[in-house]
Amino acid sequence: MKRQKNKVDGWVVLDKPIGPSSTQALGKVRWLFQAAKGGHGGTLDPLASGVLPIALGEATKLIPFAMDGTKQYEFAVRWGAATATDDLEGSVVATSPSRPAEAAIRAALPSFEGEIEQLPPAFSAIKIDGKRAYELARAGEEVVLQPRKVLIHKLEYLESPDTDTARFRVTCGKGTYVRSLARDLAGALGTVGHVIELRRTRVGKFTLESAISLARLEGFGHSPARFGALAPVETALDDIPVLAVTAEEASALKQGRALRDPRIDRVPAEPIAAFQEGRLVALVASDGNEIRPVRVFNL
């Protein structure tokens, strides 16, 4: 007999461990909450750990907001060896005896800040003719990807535990590949390299400080205590403007109807959050004539 699924709405800020894929972690969280619907805000590779926002129920409608948020990672690079995957998973495809000095590393970092062009790894989830790049690469097929522009807000050198290894922190925008960043940084320093550790510390408003480990969450089982780890749906709306609406207006918005009122000039074209007595009703935007619902929530 199939387990009954429940309507569960909110976010679980998971500290994903090394090992499971993001999809596997999502499946585990959904099973623990017996949630009818779920998704995650930004994939983490199996060899990566850290912040993985899990959206349940109505929170899935805000996944784009989570994925578009600023991200922060801490990572370690092993100099002297390049791999097929730009991380520990792949076989070594090139080596170099060169090891960069700390002064050279620090001097190279500013050129990787701002808007830069980045070639994604062949082993990535980018689709080519309907297939994931990593599926083609693992099948031995040639993978041709185009460079894309990404935004690096800040790239910091942290330490060098030994001459073969350096640790960094990067704050970046959507679509940035840390593996590509490590590969290109090594190339700029006259050597080759690959990522040996990767930990995401922030996705938009979600941080490690508010995250819960999978082990702790599993320890709750199906007990009511697990709901203590559930953040409200609106948590993902980081610094978004808010519009207060009446019960009548909330009802209209939930029915997909637009509003006409004097506040039209104060509502931007970009979505803002409409609340009725502290409850998220919809994301709304103005087209210059009326306030229309963009996304409606059933909370």
- Residue environment code for 287-298, b if the CB has 16+ CB neighbours within 10 A, otherwise e: eeeebbbebbbe
Which residues on adjacent β-strands are paired with residue 32?
Answer: none
Catalytic annotation, pick one of 45, 86, 87, 184:
45
Active site residue 15: no
Please give the C-alpha separations between residue 60 and each of 53, 188, 230, in angstroms, as whole numbers.
10, 40, 14
Q: What number of other Cβ atoms are within 10 A of residue 247's Cβ?
A: 10
Nearest to 290 by CA among 242, 265, 258, 268: 258
Which residues on adjacent β-strands are paired with residue 259?
Answer: 291
Q: Provide DSSP, the chain.
A: -PPPPB---EEEEEEEPSSS-HHHHHHHHHHHHTBS-EEESS---TT-EEEEEEEEGGGGGGHHHHHHS-EEEEEEEEETEEETTSBTTSPEEEE-S----HHHHHHHGGGGSEEEEE---SSSS-EETTEEHHHHHHTT-------EEEEEEEEEEEEEEETTEEEEEEEE-TT--HHHHHHHHHHHTTS-EEEEEEEEEEETTEEGGG-EEHHHHHHHTTSGGGGGGEEPGGGG-TT--EEE--HHHHHHHHTT--B-SGGGGGS-SS-EEEEETTEEEEEEEE-SS-EEEEEE---
> Which residues are catalytic, by number?
45
